Structure 1
Amino acid sequence: MAPAGTLTRADLAEALHHQVGLSRADSAKLVEQVLGHMCEALSKGENVKISGFGTFVLRDKGERIGRNPKTGIEVPIAPRRVLTFRASQMMRDRIVSAG
């Protein structure tokens, strides 16, 4: 098991093994396939929505001016694409009630 606060691929595979009854190898393969499909969709510019969990959204950030905190010199920050996650209302409710 990973350190507290971190859920790993191995943890997901182990949970599948125990709760669904798949072999460890099949569990690990299934986790990799799901993550692979998610990565593939995101790389194509598609959002990934998992009902009851949340949505992974790609956003394009435009060019902007930043400042080097050490020197104070302004520098341009190139446009880029960022991945954000927005938890579903159900997930937010579960997190709040668990805290």
Structure 2
Amino acid sequence: MNQTDLIAAVAERAGLSKADAGKALEALVGTITDSLKQGDEVRISGFGTFGVSERGERQGRNPQTGEPITIGASKSAKFTAGKAVKEALNGD
């Protein structure tokens, strides 16, 4: 499912226009992104938790030359599914 499909599905389920559903989705994604940038977790009851995972600096190799390189530290978004989502996926 891509973003357009998601907007159409949300619009149909919530009885909204596609434009309003698109605005709501953009607002949700923007709010989650802003919270993660500030280092906060976002918990959606019954769905899951969005958080930030920090990766430390590490050594790697250039695959073309085999030369050692340093890969810098970085942050990444992570999602942990909630109990209801896990149960729905596993048929419990």
TM category (shorter chain) comes to 0.7 to 0.9
What stretches of structure 2 of length at least 5 have no aligned partner? none
Residue among 22, 25, 30 paired with 2:19? 25
Native 8 Å contact 1:53 1:91 kept in 2: yes
Q: TM-score, normalised by structure 2?
A: 0.80
Residue among 36, 40, 57 paired with 1:42? 36
Residue among 53, 60, 66 paired with 1:72? 66
Query: Aligned letter for 2:16?
Result: L
TM-fit CA distance, 1:61:
1.4
2:66, 2:83 → 1: CA distance? Answer: 41
Q: TM-score, normalised by structure 1?
A: 0.75
Partner residue in 2 for 1:10: 4
What stretches of structure 1 of length at least 5 have no aligned partner? 1-6
Root mean square deviation of aligned Cα: 2.0
Q: How many residues align?
A: 92
Instruction: Please identify runs of 4+ aligned residues in structure 1 that moved more than 4 A.
Output: none
TM-fit CA distance, 1:45:
1.7
Say which SS state the counterpart of residue 35 (structure 1) adopts. helix
